[in-house]
């Protein structure tokens, strides 16, 4: 395992992780949370981190910190540099797979303030899983050794909303491939309708859909083996369109 551009060891303690996070640009946020001696990186400084991250919890912490920067409008944008582009041209070591909705308002790289080579992103409407989607995720785990898989749903999802409408109206199939989305999301919508009132049913369906997708991925033999071996963690999350916050479940 090498490092991207300098010799910055991976942290082994929470304190180390926080300091490491500060070097990644979260210093001011972390300081605000009470870690008084963390470093604060000057705006525009190029931060470093290990080239390959294998610890699922470390990867999740990077996403949390990136989303905190995004919501606070303190993005780094450091991973879009020419130097970074030339680095990743030699090979990729993304630290998280993100299965996200295709919705234009939820681009994972922006939401988590990450750049070239950081995230292995698979997107379909409603994050619906089909064989090529699962194959892409399996590739990321088995061949790229990505330690974290995030299923990212979001507030006001159109695919979930359309499924809710189809269920409520009993609409006939459209005869298009959109039907495949509706059928995939339908179980979550039906559970949500039984559990939530009209005002909250869409939000509940979004959460239920993410839960179903996490369960389906966790049941995949290849992914389940990676989880058992400690090489992978699978988590669900939802994104708030208004404040930009990602809530991990
Ligand atoms: Zn959506």
Q: How close is the Cα of 102 to the center of ligand 1, in Å?
A: 6
Q: Residue 211 pLDDT more than 80? A: yes
Closest by alpha carbon to 75, among 120, 123, 118?
118
Q: How close is the Cα of 157 to the center of ligand 1, in Å?
A: 4
Element (H, E) at 236: strand 233-239
Q: How far apart are CA 75 and CA 110, in angstroms?
A: 9
Domain membership of residue 227 (yes or no) is yes
**pLDDT per residue as tens digits for the range 193-210:** 999 999 999 999 999 999
Closest by alpha carbon to 149, among 72, 88, 210, 79?
210
Domain membership of residue 179 (yes or no) is no
Domain membership of residue 237 (yes or no) is yes
Q: How close is the Cα of 101 to the center of ligand 1, in Å?
A: 5
Q: How close is the Cα of 236 to the center of ligand 1, in Å?
A: 14
Query: What number of other Cβ atoms are within 10 A of residue 126's Cβ?
Result: 27
Q: Strands, E, within 47-170: which ranges?
A: 96-101, 119-124, 148-154
Q: How close is the Cα of 160 to the center of ligand 1, in Å?
A: 7
Domain membership of residue 120 (yes or no) is yes
The pLDDT value recorded for residue 35 is: 38
The pLDDT value recorded for residue 32 is: 33
Domain membership of residue 28 (yes or no) is no
Distance of CA 197 to the CA centre of its chain: 28
Q: Which domain holds residue 200?
A: 93-160+185-248
Q: How close is the Cα of 203 to the center of ligand 1, in Å?
A: 12
What pairing do the DSSP bridges indicate for beta strands 246-248 and 233-239? Answer: antiparallel
- The winner for highest mean pLDDT among 17-21, 77-81, 202-206 is 202-206
**pLDDT per residue as tens digits for the range 177-189:** 999 999 999 999 9
How many structural domains compose the chain? Answer: 1
Average pLDDT over residues 24-38: 35
Q: How close is the Cα of 97 to the center of ligand 1, in Å?
A: 17
Q: How far apart are CA 203 and CA 207, in angstroms?
A: 6
Closest by alpha carbon to 49, among 74, 90, 86, 16?
16
pLDDT band at 81 (very low <50, low <70, confident <90, very high): confident
Q: How close is the Cα of 66 to the center of ligand 1, in Å?
A: 21
Q: What percent of the chain has pLDDT over 70?
A: 80
The pLDDT value recorded for residue 77 is: 73
Q: How far apart are CA 32 and CA 28, in angstroms?
A: 6
Average pLDDT over residues 134-139: 98
The pLDDT value recorded for residue 51 is: 75
The pLDDT value recorded for residue 194 is: 97
Q: What percent of the chain has pLDDT over 90?
A: 74
Domain membership of residue 150 (yes or no) is yes
Domain membership of residue 54 (yes or no) is no
Residue 128 belongs to domain with CATH number: 3.40.1050.10
Domain membership of residue 231 (yes or no) is yes
CB within 8 Å of 132: residues ≥ 6 apart: none
Q: How close is the Cα of 158 to the center of ligand 1, in Å?
A: 5
Give the sign of the dihedral formed by CA 235, CA 240, CA 244, CA 245: negative
The pLDDT value recorded for residue 226 is: 98
Q: How close is the Cα of 153 to the center of ligand 1, in Å?
A: 7
CA distances to 49, 66, 90, 108, 161 from 150, rounded to whole Å, are 21, 14, 25, 10, 22
């Amino acid at each position: 395992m090498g490092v991207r551009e300098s010799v910055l060891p991976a942290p082994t303690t929470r304190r180390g992780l926080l300091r490491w996070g500060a070097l990644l640009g979260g210093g001011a946020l972390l300081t605000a949370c009470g870690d008084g001696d963390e470093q604060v990186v000057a705006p525009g400084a190029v931060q470093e981190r290990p080239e390959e991250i294998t610890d699922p919890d470390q990867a999740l912490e990077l996403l949390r910190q990136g989303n905190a920067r995004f919501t606070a409008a303190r993005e780094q944008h450091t991973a879009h540099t020419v130097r970074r582009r030339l680095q990743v041209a030699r090979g990729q070591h993304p630290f998280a797979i993100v299965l996200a909705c295709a919705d234009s308002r939820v681009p994972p790289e922006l939401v988590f303030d990450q750049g070239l080579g950081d995230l292995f992103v698979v997107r379909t409407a409603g994050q619906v899983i089909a064989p090529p989607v699962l194959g892409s995720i399996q590739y990321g785990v088995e061949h790229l050794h990505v330690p974290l898989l995030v299923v990212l749903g979001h507030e006001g999802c159109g695919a979930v909303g359309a499924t809710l409408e189809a269920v409520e109206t009993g609409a006939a199939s459209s005869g298009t491939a959109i039907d495949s989305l509706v059928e995939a999301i339908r179980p979550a919508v039906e559970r949500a309708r039984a559990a939530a009132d009209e005002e909250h049913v869409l939000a509940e369906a979004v959460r239920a859909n993410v839960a179903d997708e996490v369960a389906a991925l966790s049941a995949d033999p290849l992914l389940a083996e990676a989880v058992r071996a400690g090489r992978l963690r699978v988590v669900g999350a939802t994104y708030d369109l208004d404040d930009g916050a990602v809530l991990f479940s």
